Structure 1
């Protein structure tokens, strides 16, 4: 079974420190502006089209809660946001969103506390170390309800990431490429149903 080496663990630790500094300095504030709007709109569209009403949603890579900001209260049964950065989670918790919790966790080790109707890898899957990506995906899928949906958003090509979702447990429902209004950035998004 693949495991993280000590060097991998060191690099993950350094990344955590860097992201906390960046969130604190406002480096990720742009996630709330119009550049990211097409990506978030596509995620919301996938949730609306393929999930039940008042779904329980797990947002992996939630940052400061931007996806929760864009969701209408009536559309959510429960929302749990997970992010690597302590600072971003503190900010998300300060918003005091209805039916929502936010927690700091490392996706390399994280095990969701309950089953969810929707799980979103929100620009997070490609940060998971190659050696354990399949293992992490399997652990996360274990907490996705049968017929629940998995949404993955990946900046640009996400080299080497998409093959992990081509597995018998998942049926691809849609796959889209969306670009920012000025075309300066693009994302690929897939939505899958758990069989």
Structure 2
């Protein structure tokens, strides 16, 4: 496994300090977070959630705290975690690289929220984390859509995994904002 270099971690810290990721709180991100919340409703409730790429907790604005029996949020930027809003009772955050983080226990839902672009083998990471998924639990992946380059390669690899025989693809959708044309692909699988 590849660990994020210190310079990459420092870059993420600086980007959060500079407000580069503040747009995640804007209205244009609401469709994606709303779809993620709807997918999470497919997990048995209350559910224990592992949120990989949790940032500063934007998702918490879309979840009812009674839905959660436990929460672990993982992000590479401690600055983001220091700003985390809405941490549910008993919830914890961990500053870690998704490639080296070892899940703490098992979960009813695991979310990869826009982070699989930052690992050389997203399919291997999804499969590694699958071991921490409770029987009947759900895996949710959100990916920003690009039509070329590394982002397209990641999207194609994830799509191939979830549409293959190893997973039960419960749903997937593509969201597009009409104003800016921002696009995401979301997957719900078990």
2:164 and 2:60 map into 1 onto residues whose CA distance is 29
| Residue of structure 2 aligned with 1:124, choices 103, 115, 118 | 115
User: How big is the alpha-carbon RMSD for the aligned residues of Structure 1 and Structure 2?
Assistant: 1.8
Q: How many residues align?
A: 182
The unaligned stretches of length 5 or more in structure 2 are: none
Q: Structure 2 matches for 1:51-62, cutoff 5 A?
A: 51-62=43-54
| Deviation string, structure 1 residues 52-108 (Cα, Å, up to 9, x no partner) | 11110110000001112321111111111100111111111x655423211101111
Q: Could you say which residue in structure 2 is the equivalent of 1:141? A: 130
The alignment's TM-score, normalised by the length of structure 2, stands at 0.87
Q: Could you say which residue in structure 1 is the equivalent of 2:101? A: 110
The unaligned stretches of length 5 or more in structure 1 are: none
1:106 and 1:136 map into 2 onto residues whose CA distance is 11
Greater CA deviation, 117-126 or 157-166? 157-166
The alignment's TM-score, normalised by the length of structure 1, stands at 0.85
Question: Could you list the runs of 4 or more consecutive aligned residues of structure 1 that deviate by over 3 angstroms after TM superposition?
Answer: 94-97, 164-169
Q: Could you say which residue in structure 2 is the equivalent of 1:44? A: 37
CA distance change for structure 1 residues 21 and 137 in 2, over 3 Å: closer, same or farther? same
1:47 and 1:24 map into 2 onto residues whose CA distance is 30
